[in-house]
Structure 1
Amino acid sequence: MTHTMQTRLTIWQTIRLLLSHRRLADRRAFDYESNRFAKVMVGIASLFIVGYLIMLAVLFALIANDMRSMTSVELMCALLPAVMCIDFLMRLAVQQTPSQIARPYMLLPLPRHACVDAFIFSSLTSWGNLTWLILVIPYSIMSVAFSYGMLTMVYLVIVTLLAAVANSQWYSLTRTLANRSFLWWLLPVGFYALEASPLYLGHDAGLQQYLRVYSLPGDAIGGHSMWPLLAMMALTAILVLANRHVQYAAVCMETMGSSKPKSLKHVIRFSFLERYGELGTFLQLEIKQLMRNRNPRKAIIMSIVFTIILSMLIITTDIYDSDVMTNFWALYIFILPGATILVKVMGYEGNYVDLLFVRRENILALLHAKYIFYSAMLLLPFVLMQPMVIAGKMPLMMLASYAVYTMGFQYFVIFQSAVYTHQTIPMNEKITSKGGLDGNYVQMIITGVVFIIPNIIVTTLQTMFSPETTYGIMLAIGLAFVLTNRLWLRNIYNRMMKRKYDNLEGFTSTR
């Protein structure tokens, strides 16, 4: 045995080695080249976000310079809780939890917590934690530096950066717990409800009380008191330690599995579907996949829950009664159930896709079954929105046209992702996976198209035509794609077959 092999790595050498391996893995990923164009589009979108944050920084700076009731430092500290809440929501789309990429390393002869520590260190030093400095630094230069001096400006920037780092650990901890049980989402909901309590609790409840409470750290920072910095450092340390414990426990639980014997369950048969032959078989497969497997079941349950919540909000409040908001939420609520899973169509099937390639047109029948199933799912939002029709807030023609438009054009766009999906999504294992989160940027672009473009189309049409004519055009567009679904599904199938060996390699390598 060589001297190199006999030498034990220190903890920091281990962390550096693991992080270096992850960077190499990202560059050698199966979809690195195929997603290059999509990554450019995401980069362009990031530039828009940067521009938007700079614009907000200028706006808040102008407000702070004109305010007499609050100083510029107090205003930024009052804004910080809301900013961190938005940061938490943004991380849902982009941040991996440390344990999501730990499985390949857990069986290596490494120190006990080395893998989890490496990826927690990576999340602490991620460039994403600097995002909100794009808002804070220009704001501080325009409002804080000239009033308080550079020292106070730097102090505010450091506190903001620590808040973002702590938020990354808070997100990672809660997301990991929520992956184990949906009920854990009550933790962040309760926390942010408590955070906003000055708005609705107490004799002086309201915005003024909220600003007064959260301006206190700003007053301390302006006076160079050390307690905001010490409090933020202590909070960050506590969250890092708690996150480390939760991540390691979650990885061990999922990697080692459960020793409890599984009881036999009654097998539910959908015999009425058997009369439809192969199509009925794949419909049964889709239904049972959602019923028996944790990840697709959670995804569809979450989409249904959000659909119900949004429906109740639209029905019981007048916040969304404007024409623009009515159109936006009506289109959004129809696409939500299907888009949750369909945008990753074939991802779950990647676990057994080899079998689907055995018989000719098996995958075509599967796509057709998925189309029928998720078209039927549109009945849920359609029924839930009927009180809006009865109350006169939405015309029935609008709901019908948007439902058909979603069933037609929207699903046509979403199903295109089947051609480019080549990463297997675990059926039950949520915490760890061989490749972590799938980095298919094509799917991200398709998601953006189905959520944004229809509202632009509707707004444009309504500036040119009456609402009834607009609904008729949307209905006609959707109906055209519904009636031709066999043609475009076959086109998708043929393109998948041309890429089947590349896709099969990707599915196999990411299991």
Structure 2
Amino acid sequence: MLLTLLAHQWKANSRSPVFQKSLVLNIILALLILYFGAIFLFLGFNLDTILAKAYPKQSPIDIFNGALLFYFLIDLFFRFVMQELPVLAVQPYLHLPIPKQKLIHFVLLKSVPGIFNLLFLLIFVPFMLSAIIPEYGTGTALAWLFAAIALTLFNNFLLIYFKRQLSNKPMLTLLFGVGVAGLMLLDYAGAFSLYAVSRVVFGALLLQPWLVAVPVLLLAGVYVLNYNFLKAHTYPEELRVRENKQVEGKGIVFLNRFGELGKLIELELKLIWRHKRSKSVVTMSVIFLFYGFIFYGKDTYMDGFAMLIFVGIAMTGMPVFNYGQFVPGWQSAHFDALLTRRISPYQFYAAKFWIFVPTVVLVYILTLPYGVFGYKIILINTAAMLFNIGVNLFVVFYFSVYNKSRLDLSKSSAFNWQGVGASKFLMTLPLLVLPSLIYAPFGFMGVPYIGIATIGLLGLVGITFHKPLLQWTANRFVKHKYKLAAGFRQA
């Protein structure tokens, strides 16, 4: 049955038009994987020599073992950001005489041959062959490798579980993320040494190979946790029947691979380039990139941090401030038509989110040359960019339900007060002032760089939890959509 399900998945992917359109991209991706795989393989066979030269008085195996806990914690972070959930269209199979257990096992085992689970072997296996086997023997070396594999798969299934819980129990996932970050901060603060703990734990494994049972039991436990969760949520009456939500839009082939979300992004981009009001907003955002010359290079401003944070937030976030302040007023002329279409509010805001993200990143890249005035400008603008995406963008979405003024897109922004109201002023205050308030206590304590790191970290948290935040935004939109429609009907 597992082979049958694998065959179905392969046919669904290979027959998809997205697969055909992305064939060149897949080939390039495969070549990159081969390239970096060769680098990791070379590093694995030579890592013991490199460590011996870098630390001549220490054992390469002890140094490698000391870094393993750091590796697994960093692995957790990258999995949280990049790893996708294994999925299977379960509904077509539930009415067939197929044991539900096999469907669940297939969904879980489907995640095992992932890039995060295989790439590390290119370093661990060569290091085991070149360093551990000559020192401890084949049996002990294999036990060490199996423990590393078990912990890698433990990370895999642990992140799958927490990502599935993200929409239902976001606080649980937040506590998990805070716990991982807390371990790193405690090590940085010197409360205890992760390096020493890791060295002792994996060193004990080499002395007592039977301890491999501990990571194996951890793996079994988290697998059972995932299994029970999926088993409890695969009943037909609990599955959400998704409507066929279609959005019209053609022209930008690249966006087609993102499905309905790509079509909404395409329609938004067409709206921007086809109307005076939206194009003038974009032009003003580009002109504002030169705002830094007013402040940068002057000792009055360069000696401190508060004003540089204000400038960094303003420059990297100007597209969000200028264009985002009128969301969803850009669609005011056809808002009633949007309400009659099968477009979910989540998709509506997700499309805008993924328009803003690359735009803010692009603006941030364009501000990097200001770094010639001082390295801290780059640090501040990096934190500001993360904060604008992870926090300010959702502040804009929060206030968007109060934008009830109809916009005439045929008129430019110059001397045009249409759509400007008290909500715009209230929205601008937290956008510009909040980062400075966050920084203020750290500035008074004389630790400005920790304050900048805090601003960036808050933005990173918002980016990590963008899906539940978008869902929260969509729920607010649903409560206010009829008030918005009534306001847009007024001339």
TM-score normalised by the chain length of structure 2:
0.51
* CA deviation vs aligned residue, 1:321-358 (integer Å, no higher than 9, x gap): xxxxxxxxxxxxxxxxxxxxx9998734869x9xx9xx
The answer on whether the counterparts of 2:140 and 2:209 sit within 8 Å (CA) in structure 1 is: no
Q: 1:69 to 1:109 in 2, by over 3 A?
A: farther
How many aligned residue pairs are there? 325
The counterpart of 1:220, out of the listed 192, 199, 204, is: 204
Asked if 1:347 is matched to 2:264, the reply is: no
The one-letter code matched in structure 1 to 2:260 is: G
The answer on whether the counterparts of 1:61 and 1:139 sit within 8 Å (CA) in structure 2 is: no
How many Å apart are 1:154 and its aligned residue?
Answer: 2.9
Asked if 1:249 is matched to 2:249, the reply is: no
Partner of 2:65: 77
Structure 2 distance, partners of 1:101, 1:429, is 21
Partner of 1:276: none
The counterpart of 1:394, out of the listed 302, 308, 325, is: 308
The one-letter code matched in structure 2 to 1:106 is: L
Structure 1 distance, partners of 2:358, 2:140, is 40
The answer on whether the counterparts of 2:319 and 2:360 sit within 8 Å (CA) in structure 1 is: no
The answer on whether the counterparts of 2:72 and 2:152 sit within 8 Å (CA) in structure 1 is: yes
The counterpart of 1:186, out of the listed 174, 190, 199, is: 174
Partner of 2:338: none
The answer on whether the counterparts of 1:173 and 1:243 sit within 8 Å (CA) in structure 2 is: yes
Partner of 2:194: 210
Q: 1:374 to 1:128 in 2, by over 3 A?
A: farther
Asked if 1:16 is matched to 2:3, the reply is: yes
Q: 1:140 to 1:363 in 2, by over 3 A?
A: closer
Find the residue that maps to 1:394 and give its secondary structure. helix
Structure 2 distance, partners of 1:451, 1:120, is 35
The answer on whether the counterparts of 1:74 and 1:215 sit within 8 Å (CA) in structure 2 is: yes
Q: 1:67 to 1:224 in 2, by over 3 A?
A: farther
Structure 1 distance, partners of 2:8, 2:67, is 39
Find the residue that maps to 1:63 and give its secondary structure. helix
Find the residue that maps to 2:308 and give its secondary structure. coil
* CA deviation vs aligned residue, 1:362-411 (integer Å, no higher than 9, x gap): 994488799789979x9xxx9xx99x986267387766554568999xxx
The counterpart of 1:33, out of the listed 6, 20, 39, is: 20
Partner of 2:487: none
Structure 2 distance, partners of 1:374, 1:248, is 50
The one-letter code matched in structure 2 to 1:91 is: R
Structure 1 distance, partners of 2:29, 2:224, is 33
Partner of 1:108: 96
Structure 2 distance, partners of 1:60, 1:249, is 47
Gaps of 5+ in 1: 1-13, 259-284, 286-341, 409-424, 431-443, 472-484, 487-511
Partner of 1:272: none
The counterpart of 1:165, out of the listed 121, 129, 153, is: 153
Write out aligned runs for 1:103-502 (5 A): 103-126=91-114, 128-193=116-181, 195-196=183-184, 199=187, 205-206=191-192, 209-227=193-211, 229-252=212-235, 255-257=238-240, 347-348=260-261, 364-365=270-271, 391=305, 394=308, 402-403=316-317, 427=344, 455=365
How many Å apart are 1:41 and its aligned residue?
Answer: 3.0
Structure 2 distance, partners of 1:52, 1:450, is 33
Give % identity.
Answer: 14
Q: Which range moves more in the overlay, 169-178 or 248-257?
A: 248-257
Gaps of 5+ in 2: 242-246, 248-254, 296-300, 323-341, 348-353, 379-408, 411-491
Structure 2 distance, partners of 1:373, 1:78, is 56
The answer on whether the counterparts of 1:103 and 1:255 sit within 8 Å (CA) in structure 2 is: no
Q: 1:121 to 1:398 in 2, by over 3 A?
A: closer
How many Å apart are 1:103 and its aligned residue?
Answer: 4.0
Q: 1:458 to 1:366 in 2, by over 3 A?
A: closer
Structure 1 distance, partners of 2:359, 2:98, is 44
Find the residue that maps to 2:7 and give its secondary structure. helix
Structure 2 distance, partners of 1:392, 1:55, is 47
Find the residue that maps to 1:32 and give its secondary structure. helix
The answer on whether the counterparts of 1:76 and 1:218 sit within 8 Å (CA) in structure 2 is: no
Structure 2 distance, partners of 1:350, 1:237, is 42
Asked if 1:89 is matched to 2:69, the reply is: no
Root-mean-square deviation (CA), in Å? 5.3
Find the residue that maps to 1:124 and give its secondary structure. coil
Structure 2 distance, partners of 1:211, 1:116, is 37
Structure 2 distance, partners of 1:190, 1:49, is 31
TM-score normalised by the chain length of structure 1:
0.50
Q: 1:144 to 1:362 in 2, by over 3 A?
A: closer
The answer on whether the counterparts of 1:73 and 1:156 sit within 8 Å (CA) in structure 2 is: no
Structure 2 distance, partners of 1:182, 1:373, is 39
The one-letter code matched in structure 1 to 2:110 is: S
How many Å apart are 1:83 and its aligned residue?
Answer: 1.7
Partner of 1:507: none
Q: 1:255 to 1:403 in 2, by over 3 A?
A: same
Structure 1 distance, partners of 2:129, 2:306, is 50
Partner of 2:395: none
The answer on whether the counterparts of 1:102 and 1:116 sit within 8 Å (CA) in structure 2 is: no
Q: 1:30 to 1:184 in 2, by over 3 A?
A: farther
How many Å apart are 1:17 and its aligned residue?
Answer: 1.1
Structure 1 distance, partners of 2:186, 2:125, is 28
Q: 1:400 to 1:393 in 2, by over 3 A?
A: closer
How many Å apart are 1:73 and its aligned residue?
Answer: 3.5
How many Å apart are 1:72 and its aligned residue?
Answer: 3.5
The one-letter code matched in structure 1 to 2:145 is: V
How many Å apart are 1:47 and its aligned residue?
Answer: 4.0
